[in-house]
Structure 1
Amino acid sequence: MSQATVLLVGFGITNRAVGAQLKARGCRVIATDDAADGQLRSQAAALGVDLRERPAPDDWPDLVAGARAVVPTPGLPESHLALGAAAAAGTPVVSEFDLAQRWDSRPTLAVTGTNGKTTVTLLAAAMLEASGIAVRVAGNTETPLVEAIADPQCDAFVVEASSFRLGHSRCFRPSVGAWLNFAPDHLDVHASLSSYRGAKAALWRRAGEHTTAVVNGDDPVVVSHTPGRGRVLTYGLSEGDYHVNGGALWAESEKLADIAELRRSQPHELSNQLAAAAVAMAGGAHLEGVRTAMATWAGLPHRMALVAEHGGVRYYDDSKATTPHAVCAAVRSAAPAVLIAGGRNKGLDLSPLAEVADGVRSVVAIGEAASEVERAFAGRCPAVPASSMDEAVGLATERARIGDAVLLSPGCASFDWYGSYAERGDHFARVVRAMIGGSP
């Protein structure tokens, strides 16, 4: 691609890393951005990237026609004019994954799924590290894959593979690819549920005889996309190559861990640990490395994190749960619960929340989607709106009984009240601790 012109649509973290790598390889880079500021302009100038701000609709055909390839920023809506112009001009749209694999031949272990991607990615990386294999975690993280490949010291890359990146990948073929689950999500970006599903399925689209697919046997959508080529490893809570039996986790006939000894042992957490073990062992981890990482795994911040226990009530921060699917898993783990849910809906149908209504004593609905949350539980359990996190925690505490959990598991994005799910979860924790005054 040397001397070619490449068009970057959006100039955020990922495409800045893409731009740097393309410039280092002699390409001309044009970037567009609808929210450019002084800092972004300075970064573009430092990289030698031609930054075009806020292109008009009529500008896209010419921008695309002059490019060898188009690289969209992760999360660019499928309806964006740049993608339509690229299709009309026959200009290929590629992802950072495509470029990274073109430039580096080291193994990639990729993890996708509606929920659990970050957990499985980080745990699999820990298992590999404990086995003496140097890895970098990349992808849908703070480090794009095109940036991670600049590290000459690592043996492999463990990649959190979002639909945003997979959906635009043309030739990405990971050495190991795990698909954890499927449920509606990101319909504010993908044109339809079918399109979102197709983006996830792209993980295995190019599977070959030297690739390994890690398949969640408990998810029928995932199973229906099992590739017909290459090695297949299955996992599940009852059946699979990696499974649960007799109070323990197993890799075929090898015991990985007794559940009673694990720090995280709810059903969805056990499923994630089985998936991570399958990914890591397919990537070369040994049993002792897997066991060591499992024994010390404490979970992720903002994912069913116990904030406090007071007056016989447990308070959990599950702010990372931004889909109904994730909320349902959390409620099943914590029931009976008083649920704090809502925020900015990502174009999803929230009615599946009613599936766990029997485990919810009461609902406190927050944010822009408060009325949608209330409708989801109408006739199933009491629901009340709150106009702030302080009010939400107070109302939830009033409704909780001894033995209950107060569970912040929003099922929505955070961007109505907060800058991130982490900020939302941190605020929830501060409010809880202030309310109980540091009492045990």
Structure 2
Amino acid sequence: MIPVMGVSGQRVAVLGLGRSGLSAARALLEGGADVVCCDDSETGRKAAQAEGFEIADLTKQGAFEGIDLLITSPGIPHLYPAPHPAIAAAYAAGVPVDNDIGLFFRSYATSEWDQFEVMPKVVAVTGSNGKSTTSALLHHVLEATGRPSELAGNIGRGVLDIEPAHDGSVVVLELSSYQTDLARALTPDIAVFTNLTPDHLDRHGGMGGYFAAKRRLFAEGGPDRAVIGVDQEEGRYLAGQLSVAPSDDRVIRISSGQKLTGPGWHVFARKGFLSEMRKGRQVASIDLRLIKGLPGAHNHQNACAAYAVARSLGLAPRVIEEAFKTYGGLPHRSQIVAEANGVTFVNDSKATNVDSAAQALQAFKGIRWICGGLQKAGGLDALHPHLGSVEKAYVIGREAEVFARDLGPDVSVEICKTMAAAVDAALRDAKDGEVVLLAPAAASFDQYDSFEKRGEDFAAQVSAALGS
């Protein structure tokens, strides 16, 4: 646990009592705060009460009298589409609002660091797609090379639940826009921006607000080094904002698909090969094509980001390459769950939006595509250019007919509605060398509690269909 600094003797309210909220409450208590908790659900309130925390209704008149600070969970709106009533009350009372990420950055470094031979580092990864894989891959590389590392934030452990720093340790944080948007302290040593595609737009008041939330990771604290994906205008803009000259190697530009040139520090992947360029010269190359845990151009971008951070931390190219080879991938993200009779079954249930599904569709050939669910704003038009490798689509979800219609006339479609029916149909049709791919391009909430549950059902149905 990371005890929160600077709160001793203060009365601090915590709104939202899920994983991050309860973790924050414990860390605040450990730091000497008087903690009061609030949650809209009875389940959350009971969980906090079971640990001895005081419960209060922060929406009542005068609830913030005597409160010095409000800590809110990332999923609770604090601005758009409208602030939660308790947060609005805090604003009205002049009470500062923060989250667990802000608490972490103000509390992680301690006087004990003066005794370390190698200073600990914090790496923070954000972006629309790929941040989970980038974070997990980097964590894997560090562990494989013997560097003490912890994975936390939006993946792994709650950020305040990790252990205090060790000599030379590295904390890898995956941070969503919900987390970076509000945190009052953001001071990573290395910050990573993977890419930007439309998502959570209602929460951020549009695309500009969404990008602004991501950009805060780089603007608020000024990381020592920034790794920036430059395949989109926003990334190129951000890299330009952070650089003082073309040769400024505090910014490492990364790309999947385009060769990067110039006097700076670049890492890019083309045709399955990762290249590192410094001062206009190639200094290293890795063949990514045979690394099963990193299929497709989108994962090659993730590999570029993780490689760039690892190089910034002093690891040698060949050491990083060997670690890449043992990376098994994340559950629900291009995860191979079975191989039978020449057919590969891939779980990419995390492909909850059109862009991430498009990336998955470009990673394979001969695809039996299981898709569908709760569609997000914007429709499916952006998928149409990427359907060339789809042999047939097997559509699930309560509104499978609508989803199938929106796929257009150029792809063969079978309405299945349930995961069991889709797996059975895809297995019936699949030929040697083909891939049965779950990449829904939609949220899961019409049939499942989460994309994880959807992916687990896919794996279970595959196992049942194969008799394994």
TM-score, structure 2 normalization: 0.83
Q: Which of 209, 215, 222 does residue 195 from structure 1 map onto? A: 209
Structure-2 change in CA distance of 1:348 and 1:151 (3 Å): farther
Contact kept, 8 Å, 2:373 with 2:447, in 1: the verdict is yes
**Which residue in the other structure is 1:126 paired with?**
140
Structure-2 change in CA distance of 1:161 and 1:42 (3 Å): closer
Q: Which of 242, 258, 261 does residue 287 from structure 2 map onto? A: 258
**Which residue in the other structure is 1:17 paired with?**
23
Structure-2 change in CA distance of 1:154 and 1:24 (3 Å): farther
Superposed CA offset, 1:169-192 (max 9, x none): 122121111011111223464443
CA distance in 2, matches of 1:66, 1:31: 14
Superposed CA offset, 1:86-131 (max 9, x none): 3344432212111111112242101112221121111112222344
Q: Which of 248, 251, 264 does residue 232 from structure 1 map onto? A: 251
Structure having greater relative contact order (Cα 8 Å, sep ≥ 6): 1
Superposed CA offset, 1:12-37 (max 9, x none): 11111111111112212222111223
Task: Read off the aligned partner of 1:367 and give its amino acid letter.
Answer: G
SS across alignment from 2:358: helix
SS across alignment from 1:167: helix
Gaps of 5+ in 1: none
Q: Which of 98, 104, 109 does residue 100 from structure 1 map onto? A: 104
- 1:339-378 aligned within 5 A: 339-345=369-375, 347=377, 349-378=379-408
Contact kept, 8 Å, 2:351 with 2:441, in 1: the verdict is yes
Structure-2 change in CA distance of 1:141 and 1:320 (3 Å): same
CA distance in 1, matches of 2:183, 2:240: 17
**Which residue in the other structure is 1:82 paired with?**
86
SS across alignment from 2:442: coil
SS across alignment from 1:147: coil
Superposed CA offset, 1:379-421 (max 9, x none): 3323333232111123334554554322111122333323332
Contact kept, 8 Å, 2:103 with 2:185, in 1: the verdict is no
Task: Read off the aligned partner of 1:85 and give its amino acid letter.
Answer: A
RMSD: 2.7
**Which residue in the other structure is 1:435 paired with?**
465
Q: Which of 286, 297, 304 does residue 334 from structure 2 map onto? A: 304
**1:245 shift after superposition:** 5.9
Is residue 222 from structure 1 mapped to residue 242 from structure 2 by the alignment? no
Contact kept, 8 Å, 1:213 with 1:227, in 2: the verdict is no
Q: Which of 270, 292, 313 does residue 283 from structure 1 map onto? A: 313
Structure-2 change in CA distance of 1:49 and 1:190 (3 Å): farther
Structure-2 change in CA distance of 1:134 and 1:35 (3 Å): same
Gaps of 5+ in 2: 1-6, 110-119, 244-249, 261-265
**Which residue in the other structure is 2:191 paired with?**
177
Contact kept, 8 Å, 2:419 with 2:457, in 1: the verdict is yes
Structure-2 change in CA distance of 1:245 and 1:352 (3 Å): closer
Contact kept, 8 Å, 1:64 with 1:70, in 2: the verdict is no
Is residue 382 from structure 1 mapped to residue 412 from structure 2 by the alignment? yes
CA distance in 2, matches of 1:65, 1:192: 34
CA distance in 2, matches of 1:368, 1:200: 33
Q: Which of 273, 294, 300 does residue 248 from structure 1 map onto? A: 273
CA distance in 1, matches of 2:202, 2:397: 17
CA distance in 2, matches of 1:4, 1:349: 48
CA distance in 1, matches of 2:104, 2:385: 41
Q: Name the % identity.
A: 30
Contact kept, 8 Å, 1:134 with 1:154, in 2: the verdict is yes
CA distance in 1, matches of 2:272, 2:130: 22
Contact kept, 8 Å, 2:398 with 2:417, in 1: the verdict is no
Superposed CA offset, 1:258-304 (max 9, x none): 23553334222221111101122223434343122112122222222
SS across alignment from 1:275: helix
Contact kept, 8 Å, 1:115 with 1:181, in 2: the verdict is yes
CA distance in 1, matches of 2:399, 2:66: 42
Contact kept, 8 Å, 2:90 with 2:96, in 1: the verdict is yes
Task: Read off the aligned partner of 2:259 and give its amino acid letter.
Answer: E
Structure-2 change in CA distance of 1:63 and 1:224 (3 Å): farther
Task: Kindly tell me the number of residue pairs found equivalent between the two proteins.
Answer: 431
Superposed CA offset, 1:296-329 (max 9, x none): 1222222222333445543221112112111101
CA distance in 2, matches of 1:112, 1:199: 10
Task: Read off the aligned partner of 1:70 and give its amino acid letter.
Answer: L
**Which residue in the other structure is 1:268 paired with?**
298
Is residue 139 from structure 1 mapped to residue 145 from structure 2 by the alignment? no
- 1:31-110 aligned within 5 A: 31-37=37-43, 40-46=45-51, 48-52=52-56, 59=60, 62-64=62-64, 66-77=66-77, 78=80, 79=82, 80-105=84-109, 106-110=120-124
SS across alignment from 2:426: helix
**Which residue in the other structure is 2:180 paired with?**
166
**1:433 shift after superposition:** 2.9
CA distance in 1, matches of 2:464, 2:95: 56
SS across alignment from 1:233: strand
**Which residue in the other structure is 2:114 paired with?**
none
Structure-2 change in CA distance of 1:86 and 1:375 (3 Å): farther
Is residue 6 from structure 1 mapped to residue 6 from structure 2 by the alignment? no
TM-score, structure 1 normalization: 0.88
Contact kept, 8 Å, 2:39 with 2:45, in 1: the verdict is no
Task: Read off the aligned partner of 1:81 and give its amino acid letter.
Answer: P
